């Protein structure tokens, strides 16, 4: 099984799609794993065009599961992505992330913009957070999260570890956004979110920060259903990034 490594943490990944095509890294959301991209139809929708590099985020899936919140700092998460790219000999890639994966994508604009031809993020806003995030009790969080098919898939496969997930959540709640990095971005940035999802308003405001940014609003969709809206998102995503090459 293929693994990359960043500072002693092993990161599981798989390669799908079209051999020899432009690479696209796909990073899932909190509590899910790389299988969510297949289960929702993203791999099928994008695999004819791209060489897809699907990774299990640290703490998730078959990657290592550190239990220290400092291990989930955003710069480290971006370095995880670069480690996976390095293991595959990829210098520059397209990036697609959802929710937590979107937050990591925005953070890549801060820490490694030169390594990405395009950045696409769903279910996450890059705007500066000015208020602390409310603390969430684990059992209540899981009851709600298990309504999400991607989370249930990972849970039923035994790939959710509570200490790692609590550490990861602590770090995510401390993330401040990437507003200035989006202002300075020189590559196409694509964002999407459902109107019934919290990040929608932030994305709507963020699109005005950079002429190379585009926001797709998904009417009536929430966090879970927006993640499943492949037929709506992929055509708009390809229209925005399709002419850019990852060399």
Amino acid 133: pLDDT: 62
CB 154, CB 63: distance < 8 Å = no
Q: Mutual orientation of helices 100-111 and 162-173 as an angle, nearest 10°? A: 50
pLDDT in tens, the chain (247 residues): 799 999 999 999 999 999 999 999 999 999 999 999 999 999 999 999 999 999 999 999 999 999 999 999 999 999 999 999 999 999 999 999 999 999 999 999 999 999 999 999 999 999 977 666 667 687 888 888 888 888 888 888 888 889 999 999 999 999 999 999 999 999 999 999 999 999 999 999 999 999 999 999 999 999 999 999 999 999 999 999 999 999 7
Tokens of 232: 């709506």
Angle between helices 74-87 and 100-111 (to 10 degrees): 90
User: Is beta strand 22-27 parallel, antiparallel or unpaired with respect to 213-218?
Assistant: unpaired
Check if the beta carbon of residue 58 is closer than 8 Å to that of residue 64: yes
Instruction: Please state, as a whole number, how many other Cβ atoms lie within 10 Å of the Cβ of residue 210.
Output: 19
pTM attached to this predicted model: 0.94
Nearest CA among 64, 75, 76 for reference residue 13: 64
Per-residue confidence (pLDDT) for residue 144, from 0 to 100: 82
Instruction: Please compute Rg for the chain using Cα positions.
Output: 16
> Cα(134)–Cα(116) distance, rounded to whole angstroms?
32
Residues with Cβ within 8 Å of residue 240, at least 6 apart in sequence: 118, 120, 188, 190, 214
pLDDT for the residue 131? 62
Residue 228's φ and ψ, nearest 5 degrees, are -100, 0
**Domains of the chain with bracketed CATH:** 3-241 (3.40.50.1820)
């Amino acid at each position: 099984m293929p693994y990359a490594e960043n500072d002693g943490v092993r990161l599981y990944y798989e390669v799908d799609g079209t051999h020899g095509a432009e690479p696209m890294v796909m990073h899932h959301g909190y509590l899910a794993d790389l299988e969510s991209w297949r289960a929702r139809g993203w791999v099928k929708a994008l695999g004819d065009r791209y060489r897809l590099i699907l990774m299990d985020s640290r703490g998730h899936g078959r990657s290592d599961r550190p239990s220290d919140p400092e291990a989930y700092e955003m710069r480290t998460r971006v370095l995880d992505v670069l480690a996976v790219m390095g293991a595959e000999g990829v210098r520059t890639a397209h990036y697609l992330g959802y929710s937590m994966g979107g937050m990591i994508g925005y953070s890549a604009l801060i820490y490694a913009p030169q390594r990405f031809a395009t950045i696409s993020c769903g279910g996450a806003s890059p705007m500066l957070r000015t208020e602390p995030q409310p603390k969430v009790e684990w059992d209540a969080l899981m009851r709600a999260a298990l309504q999400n098919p991607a989370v249930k898939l990972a849970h039923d496969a035994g790939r959710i570890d509570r200490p790692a997930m609590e550490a990861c959540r602590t770090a995510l709640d401390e993330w401040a956004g990437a507003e200035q990095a989006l202002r300075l971005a020189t590559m196409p940035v694509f964002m999407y979110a459902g109107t019934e999802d919290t990040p929608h308003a932030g994305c709507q405001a963020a699109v005005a920060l950079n002429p190379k940014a585009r926001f797709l609003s998904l009417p009536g969709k929430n966090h879970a259903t927006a993640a499943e809206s492949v037929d709506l998102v992929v055509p708009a995503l390809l229209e925005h990034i399709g002419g850019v090459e990852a060399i």
